[in-house]
Structure 1
Amino acid sequence: MKKNSANELIPEKVNPRLPGGFHLPPFGIHQTLAVIIVCIALWAVGAIWLGVQAASQWVGGWQDDIHVHVYLDNSKSAQEEELASALESIPQVSSVRRISQAEAARWMQEWLDSAGLSQKELAERLPITFELSINDEKAEFLFTDIRDAAMRYGGEVNESEVSMAKAHEWISRAEYLALFASLILALAMALIISNTLRMMLLARADEIHLMRLMGAKEWFVRMPFILEGMLLGGVAGIAAWLMLWPLILGGEEWLGMLQVDLNAWVLLPPLLLGGALVGAFGAVVATARVVSTEHSG
């Protein structure tokens, strides 16, 4: 036995340090490992949402003015007027413009700069082209109607442009998948922090028991651990955000070609607050049973 300044008896091996288990950095080995693992998980979440942001910007910029091209072979020029009328009759097609072969040849010559073909040679080889302006790319059966009209008169649709026009629906689905993946990773992170804090709680069971005997309320005992969990998650969130910058800077040139300008700053609050909330939740789970058990005992 040993006596404190108030001459009260305190059992040996009991550290009366208050409050609870709160430690400021540098953390111990268990806290450090938890921060590293949670940081990697948060980095993965941030990378997923950066990808969604890039895809949304790329497709969103292209879909400000949606065009789909329909081609008709020169040998079927007699059906040009019928094809144009059929395309114009589709409700979601706002306009149909006939692109002259000379205009198409100029564009092709700029695109195929090293092809060595003159505009006249290109114009002779290019098909009759119609440019369709779309006012509602999400309309059901829109692209099926365009294909049917084109096939009826021997034309072909630029399928790559159709795929691009449908990309908004794909991105919406990708956002749901990203949200689901983020929730799964959040649960995993909470479990990691919970296990880390639970080991600390078990190591300090005597201290917690002493605090409860001295009349400390349950939340007074739990709060330091919850604050530590929030600190662990917040530190991991900031570290994960910093680790996203090499990813952005490394792909800056490629993203510039796609006219995508990623904004990593918008991810700082979600990663910081998300990490803190995950840490708090893990701490609540870790302390709920241990502290309550100490009280009932």
Structure 2
Amino acid sequence: MIRIPGLKPPPSKNMAKRRVENVVVNNTQGTVPEMAHPRLPGGFNLPPFGVHQVLAVVIVCIALWAVGVIWLGMQAASQWVGSWQQDIHIHVYLDVKKDQADSGKRADKLQQALQSIPQIAAVRRIPPAEAAVWMQTWLHDAALNAQDLTNRLPLTFEISLTDAQSRFLFDDIRDAAGRFGGRVNEDEVNLARAHYWLSQASWLAGFASLVLALAMALIISNTLRMTLLARADEIHLMRLLGAKEWFVRMPFILEGMVLGAAAGIAAWLLLWPIVWGSSAWLLTMQVDLNLWVLLPALLFGGGVVGTLGAVIATARVVSAETGV
């Protein structure tokens, strides 16, 4: 290397590093440099939140509100289906008053035809007198004569199913009933099918909730990432001073958790107008929605999503030589 008299050579990397360390040591004993901000590198800007944090809370709140609406609908559908979710029965009616001589044979043949269907577990014959007693108990306010009901009610077959999701089960039941002049309670068939579609919809609701959770985590991650970039000098300085990775990351993780939990509470509050507005309609369907069940789920779910987003955003805070 050719040296020019009077010109100092540029400082090497080791010399520059020693100068930075000397400045840091000197400033720990005296004043703080003008460009350094003496505060922890957390993302909080209280009061109030920064614009980016407020926007993140609003967007995550809308997503959590959509998740809450989905599961409110699932709760209403489950209550509407009622006990059919656990024990599904189909009733077949046979009018035995048209032909008294042949009614007994037709009833026996119909019962045998129903029992021959593989998806049917059992067939119980309910005589009109028993059905009349049940109807009087159900309609306790109506003045009904037991003998008149017995004469008017048909013979009923109560069918217990082993597999209500079989593709051609209800068609087989209709065919067996039609051959002997019976008819199937179609309302019960619709409820049984609603039970099947409800079980399928629960999987779709879970998948939609998972997709929205990932999207919310990315939104919070991007918000905290911008805060990290704005405070890269502070983080680098703290790492040079010997701060551990968890010490630098923890304020951001706590902020993500708070942002997600705040969005969850806001989404839960926004669900109340839906319940109040549809209360009269839900009452006619005998559905009573319980919003308090969703509060822990939205609060905890929002906190988990926010924490996940913060962990993703701070994943690169790994060494003292690299900032963010």
Smaller-chain TM-score bracket: 0.7 to 0.9
**Is structure 2 residue 36 aligned with structure 1 residue 7?**
no
**Is structure 2 residue 222 aligned with structure 1 residue 190?**
no
- Please name the residue that 1:96 is paired with: 125
Query: Which one-letter code corresponds to 1:178 in the other structure?
Result: A
- Please name the residue that 2:69 is paired with: 47
1:37-56 deviations in Å (ceiling 9; x for gaps): 00000011111111111111
Q: Tell which structure's C-alpha radius of gyration is larger.
A: 2
Contact 2:240 2:320 in 1 (8 A): no
Contact 1:14 1:206 in 2 (8 A): yes
Provide the rounded CA distance (Å) in 1 between the counterparts of 2:321 and 2:245: 8
**Is structure 2 residue 313 aligned with structure 1 residue 277?**
no
Which segments of structure 1 move beyond 6 Å, counting only runs of 4 or more?
Answer: 73-76
**Is structure 2 residue 289 aligned with structure 1 residue 262?**
yes
Provide the rounded CA distance (Å) in 2 between the counterparts of 1:131 and 1:257: 29
Q: TM-score by structure 1 length?
A: 0.80
Query: Which one-letter code corresponds to 1:232 in the other structure?
Result: L
Distance apart, 1:162 and its partner CA: 0.9
Q: TM-score by structure 2 length?
A: 0.74
SS at match of 1:17: coil
Query: Which one-letter code corresponds to 1:158 in the other structure?
Result: N
Query: Which one-letter code corresponds to 1:132 in the other structure?
Result: E
Contact 2:89 2:161 in 1 (8 A): no
The match for 2:254 among 211, 227, 232 is 227
1:103-151 deviations in Å (ceiling 9; x for gaps): 6xx99xx9xxxxxxxxxxxxxxx99563524364637465344223113
**Counterparts in 2 of 1:295 and 1:45: CA distance versus 1, 3 Å:** farther
Contact 1:137 1:166 in 2 (8 A): no
SS at match of 2:318: helix
- Please name the residue that 1:120 is paired with: none
**Counterparts in 2 of 1:14 and 1:260: CA distance versus 1, 3 Å:** same
Provide the rounded CA distance (Å) in 2 between the counterparts of 1:158 and 1:257: 22
Distance apart, 1:281 and its partner CA: 0.6
Alignment gaps of 5+ in structure 2: 1-22, 140-151
**Counterparts in 2 of 1:25 and 1:262: CA distance versus 1, 3 Å:** farther
**Is structure 2 residue 322 aligned with structure 1 residue 296?**
yes
**Is structure 2 residue 203 aligned with structure 1 residue 181?**
no
1:44-95 deviations in Å (ceiling 9; x for gaps): 1111111111111121245677553435578974464333553466652442
- Please name the residue that 2:233 is paired with: 206
**Counterparts in 2 of 1:232 and 1:9: CA distance versus 1, 3 Å:** closer
**Counterparts in 2 of 1:9 and 1:26: CA distance versus 1, 3 Å:** closer
**Counterparts in 2 of 1:286 and 1:252: CA distance versus 1, 3 Å:** same
**Is structure 2 residue 163 aligned with structure 1 residue 134?**
no
Contact 1:99 1:131 in 2 (8 A): no
Provide the rounded CA distance (Å) in 1 between the counterparts of 2:322 and 2:233: 14
Alignment gaps of 5+ in structure 1: 111-125
Query: Which one-letter code corresponds to 2:121 in the other structure?
Result: Q
